[in-house]
Structure 1
Amino acid sequence: MESGRRWVVLAAGVAGMTAGCAFLYGLPYLLPRLRADGLSLTQAAILVACPTFGLLATLVVWGALADRYGERGVIALGLAGAGAGLLAASAARGPVVLGAVLVVAGAAAGSVNAASGRLILGWFGPAERGLAMGIRQMAQPLGVAVAAVTIPVLSSTGRNPALLFLAVFCLATAVLIAVVVRDPARSAEAAATTNGNPYRAPVLWRLHGAGALLVFPQFAVATFGLVFLVDTQHWDAAPAGRLLAVAAFGGAAARLFAGWWSDRAGSRTGPMRLLAGATAGVLAVLALGAGGVPGVTVVALVAAAVVSVSTNGLSFTAVAEYAGPGWAGRALGIHNTGQNAVAALTAPILGAVVTHAGYPPAFTAAACAAVLAVLAVPRLSAPAR
């Protein structure tokens, strides 16, 4: 019964995180609509980054609440708050009010990022944890895929239908989490966790740094991929969104493979380092294609969208395992805060770079961030099975 329960809990957690990610990370697919409504690229990029600014303020708090009170209530409450915030956003007048409401909705949605990873630590053992976290991390590209398919179509006549869709998605999964998810029992592994602060050693800081660096190329592609295809390759928004949705499904599969690979290899950080190097190489090719090298641009963009998201589950699993159950919620909250801080800054910074210097320097900067991540990843083995 418990074996079946953990997979049901995982499936419900993935559904909830998919809804949250469709909102938090799929909002850039509103960029063409916002620009059509009269905003500049930089202004629109700041607006779609607003949920991430809200996220930054609450991730550690949500993680601490999950450590203390359990995951189910925290995730369900946050998703319900995000859905309510999105309903309010659909009625907002003017970009300032809309941005403020999106900040609040993003702050609520942070619960699923901080607490759902902790569910994996409690329900799955070390031999399956990489795969389970890979499945959980599939939710981000799946959420982006849902947004890529739906938002360009729903926003063709205005932004409100897209915002209402995201609101209903969050509210429905909040109910699902409340009904289906059960918090894991406090295991012997949790009881054996020391009371020492894991941040006294540099390992977690290096994992946080590497994870944050790898978010920069991921969000460079996720935020500007659609606009890049529309502006430079002269695609229509709808087919460009469908192509990126296919790439997002490829990214989900890449996360699943990376988790399985780490279970077999007995290491989270070894595969993470190799995939970070592959991300740097693909983005370098994309930068060349954006600079006018023929025949590689669209293929390189799709490859970058797949490879750049592959490391997230590995960094989350490594952080949770190293921190231990007693610190996992807070450690994952800190990890998420660093990642989302970079995500929030990526859109406005690269928006300004693209506006003034074009796409090649933007993609080159993303490749350099991946190279730095390769150097930051520590060498760790997974816990004994």
Structure 2
Amino acid sequence: MGGRRWWILGVAVLAQATVSAFTYGLPFVLPQLQADEHLSLTGASTVAVTPVLGLLAGLIAWGAAADRYGERIVLTSGMVGTGAFGLLALACHQLVLLGACLALGGLFSAAISAASGRAVLGWFSVKERGLAMGIRQTCTPLGIGLASLTMPPLAAHHGFRAAIAFPAILSLAVAVLVVTIVIDPPRPPAKTVEHTRSPYRHATLWRVHAASALLVAPQFFASTFALTYLVSRWHWSPVATGQVLAAVAVAAAGGRIAAGIWSDRVGSRMRPMRMIAVAAVLVVLAWALGDWLGWWLAVVALVAALIVTVTDNGLGFVATAEMAGPYWAGRALGVQNTGQNAVALLTPPMFAALITAYGYPIALLVCALFPLAGVALIPVRSESLEPLAVTRT
């Protein structure tokens, strides 16, 4: 399996990138969504996160299914369901039905979030997991980059519903690759009953989940409002802005790989994660300051925020899987994803309301409080690279 595992990793990245474009792509067509449906920024932002609502509802259940039935069947089901409901959304011209289809597509996309990470970690040793998960976690910024590159022009020419068709069709195509290439990793036999006990008897894993969720707020603030901010505040072209943001997403993906390699070399996931959280606070504050002082600082800080705020994600995931162990990894990754996506779900409407009422600088100052709290919660001293159920009985 020396070479096959890298093919499995590649398919996992492609699968997650595809569903990420579907789940997180609607913010890139917010102007068209507002125009087509006559919605306010808050209303359009709420519609844009309906796939995340579905994702949130299914993460733990899909994780449990992966623990019990294996990754391959769960991944295949998720890709097919995401594509099918994405295409069904094209025929929905009532806002409620559209939102329901988007939410159901998001529900099936949750299968990929839970099962693909579990499959990747099952095929790599502890000294490679940071790199492997860093590569796997490039999927979200790559998917967001794909969405920013393809969805604005599709929406501009054919309406925002047409923009949904591309990731939906791609999901069905990738399902074929999953069936062809992915193999479930072997699960080591439990030596004692401790190997199968819950890792949640210890506070460490809960702290990883909480800190990771807090660090999502600046990430989704930046990804949700970057295009709208540059268009409305500095009068950039929506299509050109989407192209710039796609290039930035590639840099963000590289940041996740670099963070994974960093964690492998220092033998810690939490120390790099805490340093990234500090950097997130600083770039968000710089963006707020730039809005007052001039466009150049605002744009530089926005780009930095789009890169810095996503680099911690893989570290939280690999730490979660390592501490949970092979018998709890699917469920633990589901919990990890649930906390992060709960914050992702609330971030756009909450901060849209703040932006509408007080402007971007005040909203950014509030946003900076989230990673600041994350710095305090990250469990550097109590982290473990092995299952908590075994190391802390």
TM-score above 0.5, yes or no: yes
Letter in 1 for 2:250: F
Letter in 2 for 1:142: L
1:297-336 CA-partner distances (Å, limit 9, x unpaired): 1111101000000000000000000010100000000110
In structure 2, what is the Cα distance between the partners aligned to 1:294 and 1:228? 11
TM-score for the superposition, normalised by structure 2:
0.95
Q: Which runs of 5+ in 2 are unaligned?
A: 388-393
In structure 2, what is the Cα distance between the partners aligned to 1:193 and 1:26? 42
Q: CA deviation at 1:121?
A: 2.0
1:243 aligned residue = 244
2:33 aligned residue = 34
The alignment-based identity, stated in percent, is 48
Q: CA deviation at 1:190?
A: 8.7
CA contact (8 A) 2:121 2:132 kept: no
In structure 1, what is the Cα distance between the partners aligned to 2:125 and 2:221? 34
Q: Which runs of 5+ in 1 are unaligned?
A: none
Q: Matched residue pairs, number?
A: 383
2:92 aligned residue = 92
Q: CA deviation at 1:196?
A: 2.1
2:112 aligned residue = 112
In structure 2, what is the Cα distance between the partners aligned to 1:191 and 1:111? 30
TM-score for the superposition, normalised by structure 1:
0.97
More divergent stretch after superposition (241-250 vs 266-275): 241-250
Instruction: Determine whether 1:167 maps to 2:168.
Output: yes
More divergent stretch after superposition (312-321 vs 294-303): 294-303
CA contact (8 A) 1:193 1:324 kept: no
1:19-65 CA-partner distances (Å, limit 9, x unpaired): 01111112211201111212111110000100011111110000000
Name the Cα RMSD after superposition.
1.5
In structure 1, what is the Cα distance between the partners aligned to 2:232 and 2:385? 44
The 1:17–1:294 alpha-carbon spacing in structure 2 relative to 1, beyond 3 Å, is closer
In structure 1, what is the Cα distance between the partners aligned to 2:165 and 2:56? 24
In structure 2, what is the Cα distance between the partners aligned to 1:233 and 1:82? 35
CA contact (8 A) 2:78 2:109 kept: yes
Spell out the pairing of 1:301-340 with structure 2 (5 A cutoff).
301-340=302-341
1:23 aligned residue = 22
1:60 aligned residue = 60
CA contact (8 A) 1:90 1:163 kept: yes
Q: CA deviation at 1:79?
A: 1.1
More divergent stretch after superposition (155-164 vs 256-265): 155-164
Spell out the pairing of 1:83-162 with structure 2 (5 A cutoff).
83-157=83-157, 158-162=159-163
In structure 2, what is the Cα distance between the partners aligned to 1:68 and 1:320? 16
CA contact (8 A) 2:137 2:253 kept: yes
Q: CA deviation at 1:187?
A: 2.7
CA contact (8 A) 1:269 1:381 kept: no
In structure 2, what is the Cα distance between the partners aligned to 1:174 and 1:155? 25
In structure 1, what is the Cα distance between the partners aligned to 2:190 and 2:333? 18
In structure 2, what is the Cα distance between the partners aligned to 1:141 and 1:67? 26
Give the SS at the match of 2:196: coil
In structure 2, what is the Cα distance between the partners aligned to 1:190 and 1:4? 29
1:79 aligned residue = 79
CA contact (8 A) 1:266 1:381 kept: no
Correspondence for 1:382 among 381, 385, 390 = 385
Give the SS at the match of 2:128: helix
Q: CA deviation at 1:192?
A: 8.5
In structure 2, what is the Cα distance between the partners aligned to 1:278 and 1:33? 33
Letter in 2 for 1:51: P
In structure 2, what is the Cα distance between the partners aligned to 1:191 and 1:167? 44
CA contact (8 A) 1:251 1:309 kept: yes
Q: CA deviation at 1:383?
A: 4.3
In structure 2, what is the Cα distance between the partners aligned to 1:83 and 1:191? 42
In structure 2, what is the Cα distance between the partners aligned to 1:209 and 1:267? 18
1:133-169 CA-partner distances (Å, limit 9, x unpaired): 0000000000000001000011103123211112111
Give the SS at the match of 1:253: helix
